[in-house]
A and B are shown apart, each in its own frame.
Chain A
Amino acid sequence: MIDEAVLNELTSMLGEEATQRMLLVYTTEVQERLKVLAQISQAIKADEAIDFAEVEIQAHTLKSSSASFGAIEFSAQAEILEHAAKAHDAAKVTQQLVTLSELGVETLRFYAERLAP
């Protein structure tokens, strides 16, 4: 789920303290963006029109940032969501929002442990 080599590379480049700081910014951002996607999931459940553009933006950013911080599986799932949103595939977007949300919880848990003193 997590590419440790990426995290080790970050640590060697930035040092432990700066890496911790970066990971904190990353996890905060993931939480914020997952909240936005959760809102969209709620809207879908309420039979509202899917905001594909917003889903695409959020998924795109999660894909890029997650890859940079070693969350490769989360990044891959975000990419699938990005493509589904780009294709306006409502069923796939609905399904992938759930997948990404669940994986997001796991990913954040990993980083929380990594960040724990």
Chain B
Amino acid sequence: MDITSSFTTLLVEDSMSLGALYTEYLRADGARVTHVNHGEDALNELKQWQPDLLVLDIQLPDMSGMDILAAVQKDYPDITVIMITAHGTIDIAVDAMRSGAFDFLVKPFDAKRLSITVRNALKQRQLVNLVAKYESSLPKPRFMGFVGESLAMQTIYKTIDCVANSKASAFIVGESGTGKEVCANAIHHAGNRCDGPFVALNCASIPKDLIESEIFGHTKGAFTGAVANRDGAATRAHNGTLFLDEICEMDLELQSKLLRFIQTGVFQRVGATKEEKVDVRFVSATNRIPWDEVKAGRFREDLFYRLHVIPIELPPLRVRGKDILLLASSLLKEYNKEEGKKFKGFSSDAKRCLTNYAWPGNVRQLQNVIRQVVVLNEGDLVELDMLPLQLTTAEISQPKIESDAKNKPTHSQPAADNNLNEIAESSSFISNIEPTTAYSSKPQHSADSVTATTSNDEIEPLWLTEKRTIESAIARCDGNVPKAAALLDISASTIYRKRQTWEELENSLAPS
């Protein structure tokens, strides 16, 4: 394809004769040319349309071409700029190159010189577009606060991109710790409401009696303690986004008021007689299965249909494959900086352990684990024994979880309890997980291991299992009880108390 077959050019040249001449030259090369004489006219044209090429004289009657170049670099960085300069202003032209111009031409120049420069500029432009196209086809490792390049997350990024500019309500579902608020934030900031407010409200954390006032605000004297008028989340979110987290925890009575607000944008403050109207985009989230909540009569069906316009299902960490290590590395870097540590990465054993763990608490749990490792240890590499026992023992006792969607507890799967977290930890979930060859063939000789295949006579009292786990942790920490306690996520005094209890139990069991 001829790269100069069709391209648009805005020519800014104050001389009528040179403008006409350069227009002829450019048209001969296939350009559709618009010629203006003044800088102000050029800026007005750029507000209306953006050419492929801007051919810009440095010395203009009303402003410097450098000012226009700066504006173009700021507002329209995709435009390729060729500067035109007279013999005396070459220094400025060099500055222009430093400021982002592609090339400059010194007057007088002929058609051939202009043609070569234009062709080079178009070639470079074509290459830049090609690279951008290629880059956009690659998985994005980061997106609006998310870290992850798995297919599951790429789908989420695309969905966020698509829905960001819409006013349609989005409903985010996912287990705790999967990033529902990050997702809501991303929808807000990727869209045309990004300059407006983002107001988040956790429906589960606000007492039932106060939530109406939190959403709609109240007037002075509306209830005991309402000493002044107060704006609610609805008012504060005007022209922005209102994020209702844990929406399924909302009281049924309030659900009907919320429904009216969503339908009309109109609401009444608690204690007020006057109605208010706002322009708000709704994003809701829950870690429950919303349709099950509707079926159980805990969530209004009409409200469900109002909010559940664009469902976004965040994948649990265990199905995100290599994202686990990507996230772990990103968190390690972040916490290194905060804690003044120098970890450069993870040992292969630690990587394997992190990858194989089920992460019932998802990204939030991973954050805690990496923070714990960074705070409690020193070194270049995060080793397996620096990871909490919770992870390392699970690695031995639990089969590896397949990182594909078929094990994902989807909303269509039947579940006794509709809390996604509990599904993840329930036996029905574990039974879905097939042991890998690597783990099923591993001899389970470790003293710490808690096997799932013991016969009845091998079952021992729980305190003995607990004792072995704790003593093993202390041994692995070279007798350092506080460190072992931290890794076990309990207090050191708990260990001392338990030791006391074990001694008493052993004494009572000992033959007299």
Contacts and interface: CB of A to CB of B under 8 A. Distances in A.
Interface residues of B, number: 21
Interface in A47-71: 57, 60-61, 63-65, 67-69
Contacts of A68: 17-18, 21, 107-109
Nearest to A68: B108
Interface string B104-141: 00011111100000000000000000000000000000
A29 B15 contact: yes
B61 A26 contact: no
A116 interface: no
Contacts of B110: 9, 13
Nearest to A23: B17
Interface string A16-30: 001001100110111
Nearest to B111: A13
Contacts of A61: 14-15
A21 B25 CA distance: 14
A43 interface: no
Interface residues of A, number: 24
A21 B24 CA distance: 11
B316 to A, nearest CB: 67
Contact of A26 (B17, B109, B112): B17
B74 to A, nearest CB: 27
Query: For chain B, what secondary structure do more than half of its interface residues adopt (helix, strand, loop), or is it mixed?
Result: helix
A67 B21 CA distance: 12
A114 to B, nearest CB: 14
Contact of B107 (A25, A28, A57, A67): A67
A65 B24 contact: no
B113 to A, nearest CB: 11
B25 A64 contact: no
Contact of A64 (B16, B20, B107): B107
Nearest to B22: A68
Interface in B8-62: 14-18, 20-21, 24-25, 28, 59, 61
A6 B107 CA distance: 13
B24 A57 contact: no
Interface of B: 14-18, 20-21, 24-25, 28, 59, 61, 86-88, 107-112
9 contacts: A13-B112, A18-B24, A60-B59, A60-B86, A64-B18, A64-B86, A65-B15, A69-B17, A79-B87
Interface of A: 6, 9-10, 13-14, 18, 21-22, 25-26, 28-30, 57, 60-61, 63-65, 67-69, 79, 82
